[in-house]
Amino acid sequence: MISTLILTTMMAANPLPAPTWIPQGQTYIRVQHLHAIDNLDKGDMFGKNRADFFAYVTVDGVMYKTSIMSKDDGYPGWMIPIDTNRRVNKIHLALMDEDGGLEGKDDHVDINPLKYHKDLMFNYDRQTGRISGDVSGRYNRQITSRGGGDNDKGIITFEITRA
Ligand SMILES: [Ca+2]
Ligand SMILES: [Ca+2]
Ligand SMILES: [Ca+2]
């Protein structure tokens, strides 16, 4: 519930397009793998029975919107830069299924195992390399999170690494 409210607020802002290129030495989030558990286009008017994944990723209040990957299972390779002038970065990851045209009709994919939570919110501590929050892990290690308890479930695998 809370994550949905935050997402709605974020969507009012103008997201930056996620970059297609990361300069050498830059720390970034790399979304490696996505998988649709539920049929995200079931019952949609122009549904093709195939997910059209994209993400809103907010890093320290700056929101990026990725490109669309139209596959139920695939490797989007999305890259979102992280500013490591801060010791701790706050990251909010929302996965969506694009449904075209009408504003607000996109489906919100559940990648959080907790009921009533669809998004992932976590911190990255540059000094310890630790990732903590809705997911936990470390710098340069893949993190996989599977949605549960809500509709439109999916699985995401990503890592924080350096170019
Ligand atoms: Ca849909
Ligand atoms: Ca769709
Ligand atoms: Ca959930």
* HEC profile of 94-119: EEEECCCCCCCCCEEEECCCCCCCCC
Q: Among all ligands shown, which has an atom nearest to the Cα of 52? A: 2
Q: How far is the CA of 147 from the centre of ligand 3 (A)?
A: 5
Ordered by start, the domain boundaries in the chain are 2-162
Q: How far is the CA of 4 from the centre of ligand 1 (A)?
A: 16
Please name the fold of domain 2-162: Immunoglobulin-like (2.60.40)
Secondary structure class of 54 (helix, strand, coil)? strand
List per-residue pLDDT tens for the chain, 163 residues long: 445 555 555 555 689 999 999 999 999 999 999 999 999 887 666 666 789 999 999 999 999 999 999 999 999 999 999 998 999 999 999 999 998 765 567 899 999 999 999 999 999 999 999 999 999 999 999 999 999 999 999 999 999 999 9
Q: How far is the CA of 112 from the centre of ligand 2 (A)?
A: 20
